[in-house]
Copies of this chain bind each other. A is one copy, B any other.
Amino acid sequence: MDPLGFEHHDHRRCVATALAAAQAHCARHRLNLTPVRRRVLELLLEGHRAMGAYDILDHLREEGLGAQPPVAYRALDFLVSHGFAHKIERLNAFIACTDPETVHTPAFLICRGCHAVAEAQAEPTRGMLGRAAAEAGFEIEQAMIEALGRCPNCREGEAAPCA
């Protein structure tokens, strides 16, 4: 998929590419992409949507990769802390990062129709928020930006039926 959007795409290929990239990144940075961690990332990439820790755990359990919550949470912690995945606080769910190589402040566009989630770039230290923080003397270290709304696909299906 396009990292910014809701468009259709060659999904099998994007999973394989992202997984290979993650593996390469881990090799370069001496990170240990263990089978569980790798599989969780793969599940997130395949799902291509926000998945709960217990959704993940169900898959792991079926595959004999672990049956208890900490297994899923530890793998997710690893992925999140190294930028391979993000947590969507609004949904208590996790999603694969669309661009792990770039340090960025992600913003998420969450469709309330189909529950798809797109990742966008944000720049919290600019704009009104940055100004307000600067005025208050607050130092922003990390920001979470999640927008709820309608994706283009879901907007098509509704529209004004009046008249």
Contact = CB atoms under 8 A, between A and B. Distances in A.
Interface string A137-152: 1111111111111111
How many chain A residues sit at the interface, stated as a range, is 35 or more
Interface string A37-68: 00000000000000000000000000000000
A110 B126 CA distance: 17
Nearest to A116: B138
Given A90-B89, A128-B123, A147 B142 contact: yes
A137 B152 contact: yes
Contacts of A142: 147-149
Given A89-B90, A127-B126, A141-B112, A149 B120 contact: no
A122 B129 contact: yes
A42 to B, nearest CB: 25
Nearest to A143: B147
B147 A4 contact: no
10 contacts: A4-B132, A90-B144, A109-B138, A109-B140, A111-B138, A118-B136, A120-B136, A133-B147, A133-B149, A139-B150
Interface of A: 4-6, 89-90, 107, 109, 111-112, 118, 120-124, 126-129, 132-133, 135-152, 155
